[in-house]
Amino acid sequence: STQIQLASRPVGWPTHDDFRRVVVELEPLAPGEVRVVNEFISVDPYMRGRMNDVRSYTPPYALDATMTGGAIGRVTESESTDVPVGAVVSHQLGWRDVAQGDASGFRVVPELPGVPLSAYLGILGMTGLTAYVGLLEIAHLAEGDTVFISGAAGAVGTAAGQIARLRGASRVIGSAGTDEKVALLTEKYGYDAAFNYRSGPVRELLAAAAPDGIDVYFDNVGGDHLEAALDAFSDGGRAALCGAIANYNSDETPAGPDNMSNIVTRGLTLRGFTVGNYLEHFPAFQHDMAEWFAAGSIVFDETVVDGIDNSVDAFLGLMRGENTGKMVVRTAV
Ligand code: NDP
């Protein structure tokens, strides 16, 4: 099995020297185990946090050990009756082309006609659920709300914009880092307005896009975007604090918003969450998503990088914004 290990803890932006490719001889299967050939593995922003040796909601990656993360593959050998040969399984043994372990760590998923297996790492999986839970459970999206989503052309962001619209938002505004992504937001993803955050101060760009203010902010970015949202909020506004990618590769203390007093004067609610604590909403998410898919009211993008050996480039590309929608690595040859 070809696997990617963490060789050293990056300071600031990771480099190739922080990772190592190894080829591991796999043991014969023990009773209850399965072997899976991965077809796609996921690279996600939260993995940057796990490369640091700090306490967080997920433990840090160990040095000189193969990294883990979301993956989808097919069972090629099985010593378990629950997870038979041929089954498509979603699991957490990513960053390798072949995975094996106890069958309890592998969830069998249905193959949907016309839907690539990679979708289980994105719109049909944890990223879709993150958007769903963040809007509905954390920000309490209500009909008629004006919603602002940062990181809008990414995996969580593209899902969030569509779910906001499907659940009755009256106006959806997004931000992204290139003009092409901005065009996609209004043309493909149904956003009413969108802006390129590199084209000026986010505060001014958001004020122009949301002249009547915003009710809900879905924060994927933090920093200047959170500051702009705090300015734009109408009274009683709600923010779901999902991520703060603007800070992930910085080795300096990020500057905080300078307008936190708006939280007090406008009676705002800002609530953070990690999707792992809201897995009980997965059935409702799956049910709604299946209906939306069947009705043709959900679209999605993926940026596919080929080859396990290019996993680190895929991860770095994600951090630099080279993806539209979900970034995945295709491991199958
Ligand atoms: P994305 O697909 O959105 O990829 C990351 C994107 O971030 C890039 O494409 C890039 O797009 C953007 N970006 C990078 N640097 C900056 C910056 N300095 N300012 C603004 N945008 C930047 O990743 P995900 O959808 O997987 O994740 C989105 C966010 O959600 C992340 O913050 C992540 O940590 C968080 N998350 C949180 C979860 C939770 O449980 N709370 C679960 C899953 C994700 P661009 O070209 O627009 O700059």
Per domain, the residue ranges of the chain are: 2-122+301-330, 126-276
Q: pLDDT digit string (tens) for 93-149?
A: 999 999 999 999 999 999 888 889 999 999 999 999 999 999 999 999 999 999 999
Q: pLDDT digit string (tens) for 202-244?
A: 999 999 999 999 999 999 999 999 999 999 999 999 999 999 9
The CATH architecture one would assign to domain 2-122+301-330 is Alpha-Beta Complex (3.90)
Q: Whose CA is nearest to atom 33 of ligand 1?
A: 243
CA-to-CA distance for 316 and 45, rounded, in angstroms? Answer: 9
CATH level 3 topology of 126-276? Rossmann fold (3.40.50)
> pLDDT band at 255, cuts 50/70/90?
confident
Q: How many CA atoms, within 13 angstroms, populate the side-chain half-sphere of residue 78?
A: 17
Flag whether the ipTM exceeds 0.90.
yes
Whether the CB-CB separation of 48 and 81 falls below 8 Å is answered with no
Whether the CB-CB separation of 185 and 194 falls below 8 Å is answered with yes
Same fold, 2-122+301-330 and 126-276: no
Pocket probe for ligand 1: among 156, 197, 275, 279, the residue whose CB has the most ligand atoms within 8 Å is: 156
Q: pLDDT digit string (tens) for 272-286?
A: 999 999 999 999 999
Percent residues over pLDDT 70 in the chain: 100
Range with lowest mean pLDDT among 57-61, 65-69, 73-77, 211-215 = 57-61
Whole-number pLDDT of residue 6: 98
- Is the confidence at residue 34, as pLDDT, over 70? yes
Range with lowest mean pLDDT among 113-117, 171-175, 191-195, 251-255 = 251-255
Ligand 1 centroid to 81 CA: how many Å?
39
Q: How far is CA 302 from each of CA 95, 299, 324, 327, 332, rounded to the nearest angstrom? A: 18, 10, 6, 6, 16
| Interstrand relation of 98-102 and 107-108 (parallel, antiparallel or unpaired) | unpaired
Provide the sign of the torsion angle of the four alpha carbons 194, 200, 206, 211, taken in this order: negative
pLDDT averaged over every residue in the chain: 96
Ligand 1 centroid to 111 CA: how many Å?
28
Q: Give the burial string for 142-169 (b: 16+ CB within 10 Å, else e).
A: eeebbbbbbbbbbbbbbbbbbbbbebeb
Whole-number pLDDT of residue 191: 97
Q: Backbone dihedral region of 209: left (phi > 0), alpha (psi from -120 to 50 degrees) or beta?
A: alpha
Specify the DSSP class assigned to residue 248: T
Q: Give me the amino acid identity at 23.
A: V
- Is the confidence at residue 254, as pLDDT, over 90? no
Q: Whose CA is nearest to atom 13 of ligand 1?
A: 321
pTM of the complete model: 0.96
- Is the confidence at residue 251, as pLDDT, over 90? no
Q: Tell me how far the alpha carbon of residue 186 is from its chain's centroid.
A: 21
Residues with CB under 6 A from ligand 1: 44-46, 127, 130, 151, 153-157, 176-178, 181, 197, 220-221, 242-243, 245-246, 273-275, 318-319, 321, 323, 327
